[in-house]
Amino acid sequence: MDFQEMFQLELPVGELVLRGTILYLGILFLMRIMPRRTGGELEVMDLVFILLITEAASHALGDFTSLTDGFIEIGTLMFWSYLLNVLSYYFPAIKKLTTQPPVQVIKDGKLLRRNMRREYLTLDELIAHLRGEGIEEIQKVKKACVESDGTLSVVQYEEQ
C-alpha cells in the first residue's frame, strides 16, 4: 500500500472545485424545477431515484483513486451547501431561488385541482393524508398546502 500515491492529486484543484460546483448547482437547479413531492416524502421509487442521482454524480465527478481528490470534491459540495444556507438566511431572493413556496391544494373546503395537477397529487393521496390527520371530510379543511419539502400541511376549521 503506497500512502503517497493514495493522497497524490490526480486532477488540478481548480478542475475538482469547478466539477463540484457545476454538479452541485446543476442538481440544485434540477431539484428546484421538479415537483416537490419527487424529492420529499421518500418512498421506494424515490429512494431509487436519489441513489441513481448519487451514482451518476459519482461518475460525473470522476472515478478517483486519490483520497485527496475525493475530499476536495466533498469539501466543495459542503461549501456550496453551507454558503447557500447562509445566503438564504440573509437574502430572501436567494431563498426564493433555492426553495419553493407552498402550493395550496385545498382552500375553504374546496379542492384546487389545478394546483393538485401541478404537484401530481391525486385525490386518493390527498384523502389518505387527511385520514392520517384524523380528517374525514374535505369540507372541514380550511387550508392544505404542499410544502417545499413535499410534505402536506393541513389547517382545519376550528370546532364550535
Which domains are present in the chain? 3-98 (no CATH), 103-156 (3.30.240.20)
Which range (24-33, 40-49, 128-137) has the least confidence? 40-49
Q: Tell me the C-alpha to C-alpha distance, in Å, between residue 82 and each of 24, 50, 89, 149.
A: 12, 21, 11, 18
19-23, 61-65, 73-77: least confident range = 61-65
Q: What is the pLDDT of residue 123?
A: 95
- Residue range 36-48: mean pLDDT, rounded: 54
pTM, full prediction: 0.67
Express each pLDDT in 120-154 by its tens digit: 899 999 999 999 999 999 999 999 999 887 889 99
Residue 111 forms beta bridges with which residues? Answer: 106
Is residue 25 within 8 Å of residue 17, measured between CB atoms? no
**CA-to-CA separations, 2 to 7, 109, 156, in angstroms, rounded:** 9, 68, 64
